[in-house]
Copies of this chain bind each other. A is one copy, B any other.
Amino acid sequence: MTEPFEPVTAAILVIGDEVLSGRTRDTNSGHIATYLTGLGIDLKEIRVVSDDEASIVEAVNALRARYTYVFTTGGIGPTHDDITADAIAMAFGVGIDHDPRAVAMLRERFTDPADLNEGRLRMARIPFGAELIANRISKAPGFILGNVMVMAGVPSIMQAMLDVVGPTLKTGVVIESATIRADAKEGDIAMPLAAVQRAHPGVAIGSYPYVDETGFNTNLVLRSRDGEALAAAARAVKAMLSALRK
């Protein structure tokens, strides 16, 4: 399919040992994926790396060079293991210091100066040149540097930040999709399905097998930015499945 527009692409970088240890399940990526799909932005890659500066720097630089946007989650809290802001500054080769705008946001929440301690003030350390992402929940902001959106790891806070960032993003043409349950095993439909795919090159046809109490079954997911092409391919898939059942 020729695409008459510039695709908008994205990657997610999840920063966190706790995901890699298996202790915490990463739910943020799924949320961001669904959100971006709704904006017509193509999520191309997700990476999870540990709380290690060199690993973060390398991943940020690889991803920001390749995709329209990079969304990071995690590592921007007040504790010693929160090193994302420093790593982002290093990746961009810029300085980092307490940002007066971020300090002001924290002061809104921590009105007693004793509460705005050195630890909390770490959350106001923002790389030079970044724009802040407001956080209505805990006030400590995320930030945008270049094409990198740096967000919290706590899901409710990350979602609040994404809602702030979302409206500022370039959007693409939303991919439409149709899901057809095959009521057949993948192996029984693989060849005729491949023929449908060849006949409908403007539609991506994915085949997703699953096992449930009734045994092996298959969901066919058709995706396209061209609604008419999608409908034609869906008709062809259904005709193929009907023919097989005869």
Interface residues of A (CB under 8 A from B): 14, 17-27, 29-37, 43-51, 55, 77-82, 110, 115, 117-120, 122-123, 137-138, 154, 156-157, 175, 177, 186-191, 193-194, 197, 204-211, 216, 221, 223
Contact = CB atoms under 8 A, between A and B. Distances in A.
Given A20-B33, A118-B190, A119-B194, 12 more contacts: A18-B206, A20-B44, A21-B177, A22-B37, A26-B30, A44-B50, A80-B193, A80-B197, A82-B207, A118-B191, A119-B187, A120-B187
Contacts of A154: 209-211
Given A45-B55, A209-B154, A80 B190 contact: yes
B55 A37 contact: no
A33 to B, nearest CB: 3
A165 B109 CA distance: 51
Nearest to A109: B187
B209 A77 contact: yes
Contacts of A26: 29-30
Contact of A33 (B19, B156, B209): B19
A198 to B, nearest CB: 8
A22 B216 CA distance: 23
A230 B6 CA distance: 52
Contacts of A79: 186, 189-190, 193-194, 207
A81 B223 CA distance: 13
17 contacts: A20-B43, A21-B175, A22-B32, A23-B177, A46-B47, A77-B190, A79-B186, A80-B190, A81-B204, A115-B187, A117-B187, A118-B190, A118-B191, A119-B186, A119-B194, A123-B187, A154-B211
A186 B76 CA distance: 12
A191 B119 contact: yes
Nearest to A45: B49
